[in-house]
Amino acid sequence: MKLVLAVIQDADATPLVRVLSENAFEVTKLASTGGFLREGNTTLMIGVDDERLEELKRHVQRTCRARTRLVAPSVPMGEQNEGLVGDPVEVPVGGAVMFVMGVQEFIKV
Task: Note if the pTM is more than 0.85.
Answer: no
Q: In the Cβ-directed half-sphere of 54, how many Cα atoms lie within 13 Å?
A: 1
For the stretch 7-62, pLDDT in tens is 998 889 999 999 999 999 999 999 887 765 566 789 999 999 999 999 999 999 99
CATH of 2-67+93-102, one of 3.30.70.120, 1.20.1050.10, 2.60.40.1180, 3.30.360.10: 3.30.70.120
Domains of the chain: which residue ranges? 2-67+93-102
Q: Which residues contact 103 (CB under 8 A, 6 or more apart)?
A: 1, 2, 3, 47
CB 93 within 8 A of CB 68: yes
Which ranges in 6-52 belong to alpha helices (H)? 10-22
Phi, psi of 27 (to 5 degrees): -130, 140
